[in-house]
Amino acid sequence: MTFLQPLLLTALPLIALPIIIHLINQRRYQMIRWAAMMFLLAANRMSRGYARLRQLLILLFRMLVIAGLIFAVSRPLASGWLGITVGGRADTTIILLDRSPSMQQQGPGTVISKLQAGRQQLTRTLNLLGSGRWVLIESTSNTPRDIESPDALLKLPATEPASTSADLPAMLETAHEYISANKTGRTEIWICSDIRQNDWNAESGRWQTLRDLFLELRQGIRFHLLAYSEVASSNVAVRVTNVRRQQSAETAELMVSLSVTRDGDTDEKSSLPVQFEIEGARSELTIEMDGPTFELKDHRIPVERTHERGWGKVSIPADANPADNDFYFVFDRPPPRRTLIVSEDPRASKSLQLAAEISPDPSIRCSAEIITREQLTTVDWDTLSLVLWHDLLPDADGAQALQAFIERGGNVIFLPPRASGLAEFMGVRWQDWFDTQSDHPIETWRGDQDILANTQSGAALPVGQLQIRRYCGLEGELTPLARMRGGHLLLARLPTNRGGVYFVATTPAPDDSSLATNGVVLYVLVQRTLTAGAAVLGQTRLLVAGDAAREQSTTWQQIAGPPEAVSTEYAHHGGVYRGSEKLLAVNRGLSEDRSPVLSDDRVANLFTGLEFTRVDDRAGSLDGLIQEVWRLFLLSMMIALLAEAILCLPRRVQPTRDDGPGGRGLVRESNQPPTANAADLIRSGV
């Protein structure tokens, strides 16, 4: 239990005062044997048990009175109905605040969100506990910031809702760096989050490293989790999956595709109005949902022929979480998609050229050029969307040009050359070639995201039907996207800040695989990377909140979005912005639409070995997490005083009959029984 005045607890030894006084009084009496009263001792033994019990109870209640008084003046704290106690006053308190869209979920029958309730709870609780220093680390900037008091949690714009997902391991890493650099002394870390899997990334190896780092600190670190794990019983989220402008000789229209997902009772049929807004002009469409997901493909919205570039928004009615009810988009004439193929193998390069040049949309122009490594100096990198590299890994000059292309947002796919060589690119190199034992050795692939993700209708790509006859080994820190039997990589991605770098362990040559003959996977792979690379070339861009922070967002101008967003945080709020010459749409990440909550056991395992307590709360609840309970101790002291007074009352007077000689039939009164008088006389030495 915590006390606001813990020094007063040093007076607890005063509880022994009644025992000391009792022992002193015992030594005041002298035992003198008196023959005339000896016969009364036998009668006194009959009531001695009750008298001794009464004396022990009186002694106990007097001790409780003193203990209750000392505890009351020490101002004890407890966590109310949670029954969880906290530590004493900390030298430094670090607050990790999750501002992700899922924290905007509101409680049933209230407009208070999880984030709002968490800020209020932290403010009241931490003001009561006190601390020498307050530090805030919020999920968008992930930068430690000193604050004057917990009251700042209710005032700072940096604690308001955002569209950026949280990264709890990264926030804890920042907290550890702050503790180590500032030697904070005794530190408490308060985490306010709804413990969604996408925000906590529980499978990451960073958690084990974090546990080891915090265990090495000697100043004493205590973790408190204020968890809002309640899931909305009914919530609907909308997301635009594709927008393209289509023009004929007389008219123009937007083809908008969207996806609607819902939680709760997904078997019940329901109607949902969807509103489309194109720069202020609104229209509405009612859809019928009879499952967890609804896909709308190419909804036509007429626009003026002269209206080639603009923005729009798709909205659904308000529900439990307003953060996923809107989705912004931008549109423009699609830029040409140029692909550069670096190869000296005509068998493979021809298949790659066909996959890059066949456009999925007649309005999009696609072209591909085949060159050799010696011709790289003539390349216009600023107009490229994709590079297919089927040759030895680039030398120093080629690697520098490719890295600049990737930093601009371009995509590169590497295919293995016939001779692996000793060169490497960004820490990755090719190894030897191997023959497979089966024509269908592909075991697993990522169908939930990246370039092998399922189609918009949910159908999986026929990756498992590919025939892989020969493959080349890979060495380096890569993220697997497809594996063959035995764990060998078939497709992997190199983590980058911008752009995409992929490695395919085989080629479309007939001797190596069926990528060319069964061309669905190859075509989708090339076109998806080509689309992503072309997105940075046009005058419009669709960005994910958080990733947009890498842009020069301080110069943006807001066109549509939340009015409370400050200019320094535009990259973390959904909306439409104008940046220099481009029109930008910022939205929440895909993982925010439907992410399960971590189980209690999984959360506890993440903090194994650390001093950790968890407090569960819900949106809309403003009951105090921690409160003073000194009144309970004062009440206990009064009850103990009353009980002690009752036990000290003299025994009730009882009439006795005297049937002895000369007194037959007479009744006399006695204040105390003879046995009690005899015992008192004996102790007093009479």
Quick one: which of 621, 615, 640 has its CA closest to 78? 615
What predicted TM-score, i.e. pTM, was given to this entire model?
0.71
Strand, coil or helix: 219: coil
Q: Could you list the beta-strand ranges (E) of 102-154.
A: 134-138, 145-147
CB atoms within 10 A of CB 37: 17
Rounded mean pLDDT of the chain? 83
**pLDDT at residue 236 tops 70:** yes
**pLDDT at residue 81 tops 60:** no
Residues with Cβ within 8 Å of 539's Cβ and at least 6 positions away in sequence, in order, are 309, 332, 581, 582, 583
**pLDDT at residue 22 tops 80:** no
**pLDDT at residue 680 tops 50:** no
**pLDDT at residue 121 tops 80:** yes
The secondary structure element, H or E, covering residue 501 is strand 500-504
**pLDDT at residue 675 tops 70:** no
Residue 460 confidence (pLDDT): 87
Q: How does pLDDT run across 410-453, given as a tens digit for each residue?
A: 999 999 998 766 788 999 999 999 888 776 688 889 887 788 88
Quick one: which of 20, 52, 24, 19 has its CA closest to 679? 52
Counting residues of the chain whose pLDDT is more than 70, the rounded percentage is 83
d(CA 686, CA 98): 79
DSSP β-bridge partners for residue 288: 271
Q: How does pLDDT run across 480-518, given as a tens digit for each residue?
A: 999 988 888 999 999 888 889 999 999 998 888 999 888
Q: Report yes or no: 195 and 603 within 8 Å, Cβ to Cβ.
A: yes
Backbone angles phi, psi at 521, to 5 degrees: -65, -45
Q: How does pLDDT run across 53-64, given as a tens digit for each residue?
A: 777 787 787 788
d(CA 275, CA 315): 5
Q: Report yes or no: 428 and 503 within 8 Å, Cβ to Cβ.
A: yes
**pLDDT at residue 586 tops 50:** yes
d(CA 668, CA 504): 113
Lowest mean pLDDT across 10-19, 313-322, 669-678: 669-678
pLDDT band at 376 (very low <50, low <70, confident <90, very high): confident
Lowest mean pLDDT across 141-155, 322-336, 414-428, 596-610: 414-428
Give 681 or 554, the one with higher predicted confidence: 554
Lowest mean pLDDT across 35-44, 91-100, 258-267: 35-44
Residue 681 confidence (pLDDT): 39
DSSP β-bridge partners for residue 501: 412, 494
**pLDDT at residue 108 tops 70:** yes
